[in-house]
């Protein structure tokens, strides 16, 4: 991997992790399109450490309030939100532990193309249905345990490349009745425990496998690019959904999926 590739992959990771268009799908397809050697799932996962930092930078006030709530020093809503983030993280941790070895086999352009299209349509449908029936809930703190668990199961499905963790958790949050802004907020907060776990797990794996100094240097460059672009993407989407629906991302996903299919034929 060259320095340019590390920067490009980092920028793409940061942007596509938070916009509902699938970071894993883009990281699988970019080397395919440009003839680069696949950087591997360890590199991809460790970039999540950089997107974790981006989330911490943007949401540190929310996290401080949640921590106070869990410690018994905040109000009931902050404590309840903390519980829902814990409940919602469980499915992804279980799926990651049990299915990690199988995820590598799914890094296939055909899987990416199908996932982009199918879950893009799912996001469109959930957004349309939410608008049609009106909002049942206004804030993530008002969720119930089964809502949080359902969104967590959706997050576990995002292990399939092309699905988009943010996209499918936003979809599930909309189906639970949250408005767009709250769906995006809960999706981003729910990513923090998973990113932390994945970064620690894959970081230990990288150390045990004896990753070289040069590779660590490229990873750090990619991570910096991912962190900066991630912060920009988070703030952009939080502002964007105040006045817009997710149609532009749905059409992008479908167009990219169709392009991949045409490229494969």
The span from the CA of 27 to the CA of 38, in Å, is 9
Over residues 158-176, the mean pLDDT reads: 95
pTM of the model as a whole: 0.91
Over residues 193-212, the mean pLDDT reads: 75
Model confidence over 240-264: pLDDT tens digits? 999 999 999 999 999 999 999 999 9
The reported pLDDT for the residue numbered 119 is: 97
Q: How many residues comprise the chain?
A: 265
- 224 with 70: CB under 8 angstroms? no
Paired tokens of 9: 């992959």
The reported pLDDT for the residue numbered 210 is: 59
Q: Which residues contact 39 (CB under 8 A, 6 or more apart)?
A: 1, 5, 9, 27, 31
Torsion of CA 163, 198, 189, 61, to 10 degrees: -150
Task: Give the mean pLDDT of the chain.
Answer: 89
Structural domain including 229 reads 3-264
The reported pLDDT for the residue numbered 214 is: 57
Q: Is the pLDDT of residue 206 over 90?
A: no
Q: Is 224 left (phi over 0), alpha (psi -120 to 50) or beta?
A: alpha
The span from the CA of 179 to the CA of 125, in Å, is 14
The reported pLDDT for the residue numbered 191 is: 94
Helix 165-175 × helix 180-208 angle, to 10°: 140
Number of domains into which the chain is organized = 1
Closest CA to 90 of 171, 145, 160: 145
Closest CA to 33 of 265, 211, 263: 263
In this structure, of 6-15, 27-36, 154-163, 174-183, the range with the lowest mean pLDDT score is: 27-36
The reported pLDDT for the residue numbered 134 is: 56
Q: Which residues contact 262 (CB under 8 A, 6 or more apart)?
A: none
Over residues 109-138, the mean pLDDT reads: 85
Highest averaged pLDDT of the listed ranges 2-6, 62-66, 71-75: 62-66
Residue 148 buriedness (CB in 10 A; 0-12 / 13-18 / 19+): buried
Q: Which residues contact 186 (CB under 8 A, 6 or more apart)?
A: 84, 140, 143, 151, 169, 173, 178
The span from the CA of 35 to the CA of 30, in Å, is 8
Using CA atoms, how far residue 46 sits from 156, 199, 235, in Å, is: 18, 5, 22
């Amino acid at each position: 991997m060259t320095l340019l590739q590390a920067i490009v992959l980092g920028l793409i990771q940061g942007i596509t992790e938070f916009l509902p268009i699938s970071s894993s799908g883009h990281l699988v397809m970019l080397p395919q399109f440009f003839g680069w050697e696949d950087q591997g799932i360890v590199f991809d996962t460790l970039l999540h450490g950089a997107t974790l930092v981006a989330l911490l930078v943007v949401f540190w006030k929310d996290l401080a309030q949640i921590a106070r709530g869990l410690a018994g020093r905040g109000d009931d809503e902050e404590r309840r939100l903390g519980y829902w983030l814990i409940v919602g993280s469980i499915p992804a941790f279980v799926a990651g532990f049990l299915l990690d070895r199988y995820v590598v086999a799914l890094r296939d352009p055909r899987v990416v193309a199908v996932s982009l299209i199918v879950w893009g349509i799912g996001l469109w449908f959930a957004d349309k249905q939410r608008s049609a029936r009106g909002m049942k809930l206004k804030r993530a703190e008002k969720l119930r345990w089964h809502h949080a668990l359902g969104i967590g199961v959706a997050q576990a499905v995002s292990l399939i490349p092309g699905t988009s963790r943010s996209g499918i958790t936003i979809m599930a949050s909309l189906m639970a009745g949250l408005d767009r802004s709250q769906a995006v907020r809960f999706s981003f907060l729910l990513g923090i425990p998973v990113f932390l776990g994945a970064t620690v797990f894959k970081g230990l794996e990288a150390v045990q496998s004896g990753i070289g100094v040069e590779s660590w240097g490229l990873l750090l460059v990619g991570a910096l690019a991912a962190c900066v672009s991630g912060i920009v993407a988070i703030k952009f989407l939080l502002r964007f959904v105040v006045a817009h629906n997710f149609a532009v991302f749905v059409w992008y996903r479908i167009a990219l999926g169709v392009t991949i299919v045409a490229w494969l034929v």
